[in-house]
Structure 1
Amino acid sequence: PGLPQPQALHIAVAHPLRTAPEPDQRTLNPEGPLYLWGLRTLRRRGIGWPTGRTISWVAGCVFLFLTTSSGFGMYARAEFSAHMTAHILLSIVVPIFLAMGGPMTLALRALPAAAPADPPGPREWLLEFINNPISRLLTHPAVVGAQFVAGFYLFYLGGMYEELISEHLGHMFMNGFFLVSGYLFFWVIIGVDETPTPVSPRTRFLILLSSMSFHILFGLMLINSQTILAEAWYSDLNLPWIPDLLRDQQVGGGISVAAGEAMLLVVLLALGRRWHSSRGQTRERAHRATADKRAEPRSEKVLQQGPSSN
């Protein structure tokens, strides 16, 4: 239900950038224009903004559009391997780019503060969203790691996948969950915006490494499983270019392991580089503080002696 016939689906594959007709895929993503508005506001005030963050945000928006609003997004409902590719894009690739764009930092710099006599404005609501107890709970390292991994097992191995993939609203729900879950995870792990509760680099490393382990295990379970997920749904489609549903599912498991772990490894290396840089800056500040303390007694001694006479 809600899925085009194989002939129309094949056209979507032949023209992967063609806009798909589903309502959720026709909807324009507002995050791109809002980000550009923030950049324009800062530029008018003469405030700079790192170009790398802008490039990262635009890249995330482009990948999000291609994944959900092109023919590929329509095709992902008909072939498990394509669906798993979309899963990786929405839960890992897009969130990494968006988190590195620093949208909340940009908004806080661009939005004006409300006057004391005025009711709270957008900037105050954003601060409340960031600092409220629910946000602190959702961005707690243990919670953010658990929810990122749990979605894989809950949807695919918990008996929910066929019900969700066979309905358009169910497919929309999965896409939204993967996107939000991935953004929360990578906001805490490598995001530019400050989290409600500070997280040490060591904790980020541990959460990322544990998530990589569970992600590898999930992909291996798909590869080795002899049970076809959503078999009735895919069998009813009877697409001629997918003669072996189990083989296609194994390919999807391989995509999950290879693509997912490659992107997580990139994040691990980037996080390690940031940690090393942060430790270097900390050591430099400590050396400066030590040097200042050693210089203080000498300065006091010189002041007490006064200027030397010739």
Structure 2
Amino acid sequence: MAHDGHGSAAPALLLIALVAAGYLALAVRPRFRRWSRWRAAAFLTGLALLAAATAGPVAALAAIDFRGHMLQHLLIGMLAPLFLVLGAPMTLLLRSLPAARARRLGALLRGRAAHLLANPVTALVLSVGGMVVLYCTPLYRHTMTNGWLHAAVHAHFLFSGYLFAWVIAGPDPAPRRPPVPARLVVLGVAIAVHAGLSQLMYAGIGVDVAVPEDQRRGAAEIMYYGGDLAELLLAVALVAGWRPDRRVRRGPGPDGRAPVGSTCPQLSEPGAHVPGGRTPG
């Protein structure tokens, strides 16, 4: 456990500060209507958790103790992404862009790449599968001696954690998001794999982490209980944001216009942005 991550803390903190400033600059602009303070607070909380994971006592502990590494992983890969997603940054960006640029971004969100990434199974494989690869192969040992690889693993967990939280419970629009029961099933699979991996780590079976036994077991407990907390919060966010769509599609009226209450075909989410119109804050 000789890796020292302090050298990369300053650029990470600078990037976090720039993202926070950009988000706040968009949030206070008087375009359309006032942005939700709750969403702004959630996004800033996510950035604060990222800052805590990349600098200060958590980062110092992670450099010398596997339990600190696991706490860092929990913050970067699970808790921070959840709060960032709840801040709805894409919705804020869409409603702040001019109509033409918003339409182009909306088209990108409806593209094939977005469809692939927005599939919960894809997000599940990237998130949970990444953990299995890190701890059940020699990858973790290599990250302790290679700073670039260490940073790349952190970036992967942040990206995959954000993607998973977005497709499961994100308020931002996503193309063809499955119904809530299907997403709950995917979340249940993630919980099961996460719990199983932490139990294997506690027992020292099937994992490749050359650390003292007390650190390995302590880290497994952090993974088990901390992961449960993060996944419970994600499930709460999913159920709390569930708005069953009881609207019925009807044909056009006598004047040729779509009837009031018909669904919008642009993005299959209730909060989807309509370029040039209003987006929920």
TM-score range, shorter chain: 0.7 to 0.9
Counterpart for residue 292 of structure 1: none
Mapped to 2, the partners of 1:226 and 1:24 lie a distance apart of 37
1:218 counterpart = 2:194? no
* Matching residue of 1:37: 25
CA drift at 1:48 = 1.9
Separation (CA, whole Å) in 1 of partners of 2:91 and 2:98: 13
Residues 129-138 or 86-95, more deviating: 129-138
AA at the equivalent of 1:35: Y
**Among candidates 73, 80, 89, match of residue 87 of structure 1:** 73
SS at match of 2:28: helix
Work out whether 1:173 is the aligned partner of 2:152: yes
Offset, 1:205: 0.6
Q: Does 1:188 align with 2:188?
A: no
2:99 to 113, 118, 121: 113
State the Cα distance separating 1:133 from its structure 2 match: 0.9
Tell me what 1:28 maps to.
15
Pair 1:138-2:117 in alignment = yes
Matched, 1:104 2:90: yes
**Is the 2:191–2:228 contact (alpha carbons within 8 Å) kept by the matching residues of 1?**
yes
Q: Secondary structure at the match of 1:28?
A: helix
Aligned to 2:235: 268
CA contact (8 A) 2:118 2:177 kept: no
**CA deviations over 1:103-155 (Å, ceiling 9, x no partner):** 000000011134xxxxxx5x455334422211210111221112211011101
Structure 2 residue 21 is the aligned partner of structure 1 residue 54: no
Counterpart for residue 276 of structure 2: none
Kindly tell me: are residues 77 and 197 of structure 1, through their superposed partners in 2, closer, same or farther at Cα, counting changes over 3 Å? farther
Identity %: 25
Look up the equivalent residue of 2:15 and give its one-letter code: L
Aligned residues: 247
Is 1:207 the equivalent of 2:186? yes
Given that 1:25 and 1:70 are in contact with CA atoms closer than 8 Å, whether structure 2 keeps it comes out as no
Would the aligned equivalents of 1:139 and 1:195 in 2 still touch at CA under 8 Å? yes
Q: How far apart are the structure 1 equivalents of 2:158 and 2:98? A: 29
Distance 1:205-1:226 versus aligned 2 partners, 3 A rule: closer
Cα distance in 2, alignment partners of residues 148 and 154 from structure 1: 10
1:45, distance to aligned residue in structure 2 (A)? 2.9
Contact 1:228–1:246 under 8 Å retained in 2: no
Letter in 1 for 2:26: G
Partner Cα distance (2:207, 2:182) in 1: 37
- TM-score using structure 1 length: 0.73
Higher relative contact order (CA 8 A, sep 6+): 2
Deviations 1:239-280, CA, capped at 9 Å, x for gaps: xxxxxx1110110011000011122022223323333xx24x
3-state DSSP of counterpart to 2:178:
coil
| Deviation, structure 1 residue 166 | 2.0
Choose the corresponding residue for 1:258, options 220, 225, 228. 225
Tell me, yes or no, if the aligned pair for 2:119 and 2:177 is still in contact at 8 Å: no
TM-score, normalised relative to structure 2:
0.80
